[in-house]
Structure 1
Amino acid sequence: MSGELSLNINIKEPRWDQGTFMGRAQHFFMVTDPRNVLLSSETLEEARVIVQDYRAGKAKPGLTEDELWRAKYIYDSAFHPDTGEKMFVIGRMSAQVPMNMSITGCMLTFYRTTPAVVFWQWVNQSFNAVVNYTNRSGDAPMTVNQLGAAYVSATTGAVVTALGLNSHTDFRFVPFAAVAAANCINIPFMRQRELKYGIPVTDENDNRLGESPNAAKQAIMQVVVSRIGMAVPAMAIPPVIMNALEKRAFMKRFPILNAPVQVGLVGLCLVFATPLCCALFPQKSSMSVSGLEPELQERIRQASPNTTTVYFNKGL
């Protein structure tokens, strides 16, 4: 073991105080940093080894505290917190800004015809399905059939909702309303296994106490609110700016610039909206034991009578 770096740094928790919004925001600015998508497999593996070795009581010789935290955030950006598995790259939160800026920019640009609405809503909800599955809570696997059924249900419901909203008006803010409504369908469908069987809940020392569907309901509700919040700036601000820009002679002369300018505006909004909305609720969420299912309450009271609050990963 190395004597250069203290082995008492708690890297199981984020570097900043998660009891405050600013602390959570600092944490998620690191986790959602788009540059993490560009990291090589070798860099990710090196970060994984550093983190797992440190948790096992071994510190790489010469490792500094800043390097340890950097490795921890690289690890968190690419590996699932419950399963430890490397996440599919476009499903990682660090891919949210580049993926969403492209998809949302196109949704806002090509919203006037039904085929365009169907295509871009399908693309968006397919991407959301990948993100929702990748960032689910818990460690229970889903079968291919379960995943396929959830994907079809989520994307179909979301696209039908979008079409229904779009058919009533051609107002430019319809894509946002459609995305907000679709999130309320897509996220619960892709995480329906959690609603049925529950997600792991622990005590303050991370001792697993059982699985709770009630905790899953709270987790999914918080994620839905966060995702809708992420969409607000990206889908509300660019249309206002574009309405003004499109009246300018320059944009009328070069209409081909419409899409790239809109995509750029969406990206600028998402750089800030993504981490700030992830920070609305703590990643390690909590609820009172009295809010759990009666049978789980009884089990906890018998096994851990002093436990009044349980904790769980809400997902992202």
Structure 2
Amino acid sequence: MDPNLLYWKTEGQSFFSRLQTWFNLLDPALLLASEPEIHKAHTLLGKLEDLNKEDEAAVTLSLSSVHADSGAPLPLVFRPPAMLPLAGPLVVGSLLPHKTVKLALFWQFLLQNYCAGFNFAHRNRSSEQQGAKTSLRQLVLMAGTVSYTTCAGALPQIFMNQLNVRSPPIQNFCRSVLPIPLSAALAAFSVFAIRSEESETGIQVFDQHGNLVGISKAAGKQAVRETALSRAALFGTTAALPHLLLLLLKRTRLFQRSPLLVAPVRHVSAVLLLGLMLPVSFSLFPQLGTIKREELEEELQAGAAGPHLFYHRGL
């Protein structure tokens, strides 16, 4: 079992411990580390008994920059510390009240491309460890997922333009209410689609000592489901709370006298909420997930020791 997973096994089994860890892992300064530094930190993490407080920086660097299946550094733009600086502007752009369908499609395309890339980079790579490579089917599936989620994300603007909606209540519904469930649903769908291979072929499961037991489709389905729920919570909450905040602020005298404040408050609140929700959503489920022995396939239950087994959930 990878040193990153062994660390999550000992330190990341409660929500609050994971939350505290993720607040440290999302520091953008970690993006400045070089690949040799990352490899050194990952190697050091494999010697937990030798670590002390002075080595916490190495632990943080390894957890934030190394994939827990391959042991290789993650692509720079898809490391967790890069998500807020890169996805923040894209989330703001996708939630803007666009005037044309082209603008709505443009911002949705950028956001959905980044989300698909992030989901793919943080998938469970059990199949690759067995010798399989990224197939043409997977690449076509990614392109189809981006295309579908881009069009679906722009549906409110398409609906208003095609039907020539001029009613303020309906426009407000399409721009403020409809994007909330839509953002959550599309975020979950992207995870389900991009990581569908894990549900179909299975992922590696380990016993309590870190020994490989086998490949389980049940564990793969649970890993994808948990990740999809966490991503829906991330983007659904980020879409919902800025609109609720603006509804309250618009009733105040300050905003009634200065309506130009609405746009900057919307943008800033969306970025702040995304930043606050990132560690929360990443902490909802353990990185090293658990599955009951009786929920595994029959052929794995015989060789499994203990009531629970472990698997890498991905991110």
TM interval, shorter chain, is 0.7 to 0.9
Sequence identity, in percent?
Answer: 22
Cα-Cα RMSD: 2.8
Structure 2 residue 128 is the aligned partner of structure 1 residue 136: no
Deviation track 1:277-311 (CA, whole Å, cap 9, x = no partner) reads 211111111111211223333xxx1x34x333110
Q: Displacement, 1:89?
A: 1.6
Q: How do 1:226-245 and structure 2 match up within 5 A?
A: 226-242=230-246, 244=249
Q: Distance in 2 between matches of 1:274 and 1:123?
A: 19
SS in 1 for 2:6: coil
C-alpha distance in 2, partners of 1:11/1:230?
23
Following superposition of structure 1 onto structure 2, how do residues 1-316 of structure 1 map, counting pairs within 5 Å? 12-14=6-8, 17-37=11-31, 39-41=32-34, 44-53=35-44, 55=46, 65-141=52-128, 142-143=133-134, 145-164=136-155, 167=159, 170-242=174-246, 244=249, 247-252=255-260, 258=263, 261-297=265-301, 301=302, 303-304=303-304, 306-316=305-315
Post-superposition shift, 1:90? 1.8
Structure 1 position 21, deviation (Å) = 1.6
Q: Deviations over 1:86-119 (max 9, x none)?
A: 1112211111211221111111224443222222
Deviates more, 1:94-103 or 1:231-240: 231-240
- The answer to whether the 8 Å contact 1:230/1:277 transfers is yes
- Which letter does structure 2 place at the counterpart of 1:209? V
In 1: Cα distance, 2:102 partner to 2:45 partner:
53
Change (3 A) 1:165 1:296: farther
State the 1:211 CA deviation: 1.1
Length, aligned pairs only: 292
Cα distance, 1:225 vs structure 2 = 1.0
The amino acid of 1:310's aligned partner reads: L
Any idea what the Cα deviations from partners look like across 1:119-171, whole Å, max 9, x if unmatched? Answer: 22221111111110111113433425234212112112222333445527523
CA offsets, 1:235-275, max 9 Å, x none? 122223445469444443xx8x83x5433222211222110
What SS does structure 2 have at the residue aligned with 1:72? helix
- The Cα shift of 1:25 comes to 0.7
Q: Which has the higher helix share?
A: 2
Q: TM-score, normalised by structure 1?
A: 0.82
Residue type matched to 2:39 in 1?
Answer: R
Shift of residue 14, structure 1, vs aligned partner = 4.1
Structure 2 residue ranges without an equivalent (≥5) = 161-172
Give the aligned residue type for 1:149.
Answer: V
When residues 204 and 233 of structure 1 are mapped into structure 2, their CA distance, relative to the original with a 3 A threshold, is same
Structure 1 residues 218 and 31: CA distance shift in structure 2, 3 A = same
Q: Which runs of 4+ in 1 moved over 6 A?
A: none
In structure 1, the gaps of 5 or more residues are: 1-8
> For the Cα contact (< 8 Å) 2:5–2:68, is it kept in 1?
no
Instruction: Give the distance between the partners of 2:60 and 2:142, measured in 1 at CA.
Output: 29
Alpha-carbon distance between aligned partners in 1 of 2:94 and 2:178, rounded to the nearest angstrom = 10
Residue 309 of structure 1 aligns with an amino acid whose one-letter code is: H
